[in-house]
Amino acid sequence: MQKQLLLVGLLFLSGISPVLSQKYSNEFLAIGVGGRAHGMSGAQTALANDLTSIYWNAAGLTEIDAPLQLAAMHAEWFGGVGQYDFLSFGKSLNRDKKAYLAFSLIRLGIDQIPYTINLVEPDGTINYDNVSEFSAADYALMGSYARKLRNPHLSIGGTVKVVRRVIGSIGSSWGFGADLGMQYRKGNLMLGAQGRDLTTTFNAWSFNLTEKEKAVFDSTDNEIPVSNTEITKPRFVLGGAYRVRLGEKTSLIPAIDLEWTTDGQRNVLISSKSFNIDPRIGLELDYNRFVQIRAGMGNFQRVKDDFNPDQEQLSFQPNFGVGLRLGRVQLDYALTDIGNVSQVQYSHIFSVRLDFKERRSAVQ
């Protein structure tokens, strides 16, 4: 119960954050999708080559060999309280696979949250029959288009997204944004670049609190939210990867992403008031395109020592993952540390991908 209330509070505060700050808006869209990506700490801008490219770099959709592909992901956070899901499908638009169209849905939600605002009767007695439940959920519907350029080594792609955020009957918002990316692949070298939220993704919030709810907010020294517009400022990601052949059937791919933000100083590895650079490093070992072992490091932060505040130590989030290819089915699993230095909490992430073959024409 305490974990639920804590998470609800955090999610609710993220909804009214435009009253306080706009730096960390729409943070559910900063999590990322896919077991492969999470196992490599999100180092995917140059490497993405399946339906998760809708999120990481839409240009990677042109690397899909199958004319039709389906993908899904599920993750549970904090002992199953938070549910994070991704569902996607895509289709090649021509036989030479130079153009690809894909759609996806992302949902982050906390369900069956106890709503205790009516727990205490006017006479001061407690009536548990007055406790109801509600859900707090964030949704993003995304559509992507990608194609190869005249230079066969270059691809470009873009994603438009419609964002819907709901906090029970208290408040909700609609939003819109767009991303743009490109990839360069030649031999074993892979490079990528992505601009996220290039349109400064917005969320138009509206709140509908009853007079009783407003009175409770006021009596507990909570700020009463008002209708407003929340802005997500652009960020840019540069990525690189290189495939190293270790034998006839084995290869190793080191990858790195550098995420640049200009919305004020953040607690990242390279931090300043003008710009910040947050690196993500990943490694994938592949055997015969059958089994993959992955590792990654990300979320680098400088943390003050509890016993000596004048000293700082560098912390990072380690991730691990495995993949298994069974014919046209790709299964991926990642174990990620979504806690902090003092309280480590792990999330298990599962994803699946299915490729469909072209239908063969009947022989006359």
Start-to-end CA distance of the chain, whole Å, equals 67
Q: Residue 287: in which H helix or E strand, if any?
A: strand 276-287
H helices, E strands: number in the chain: 4, 18
Res 96: pLDDT: 73
Model pTM? 0.83
Residues of the chain with pLDDT under 50: 1-21, 339-343, 361-364
Res 111: pLDDT: 80
* Whether 83 contacts 76, CB under 8 Å: yes
CATH topology of domain 2-356: Porin (2.40.160)
* Whether 234 contacts 197, CB under 8 Å: yes
Res 1: pLDDT: 42
* Whether 117 contacts 216, CB under 8 Å: yes
Q: pLDDT tens for residues 194-242?
A: 999 998 888 888 888 777 777 777 777 777 777 788 888 899 999 999 9
Q: Where are the domains of the chain?
A: 2-356
Q: pLDDT tens for residues 145-186?
A: 999 999 989 999 999 999 999 988 788 899 999 999 999 999
Distances, alpha carbon 291 to alpha carbons 51, 167, 204, 287, 324, in Å:
19, 41, 45, 6, 5
* Structure tokens belonging to residue 23: 């730096």
* Whether 322 contacts 39, CB under 8 Å: yes
d(CA 303, CA 41): 20
SS3 of 9, please? Answer: helix
Res 10: pLDDT: 41
Distances, alpha carbon 331 to alpha carbons 104, 193, 297, 347, 354, in Å:
18, 27, 22, 17, 9
Res 239: pLDDT: 97
* Structure tokens belonging to residue 181: 């990316």
The full DSSP string for 35-70 is HHHHHTTT--TTT--STTHHHH-GGGGGG--SSEEE
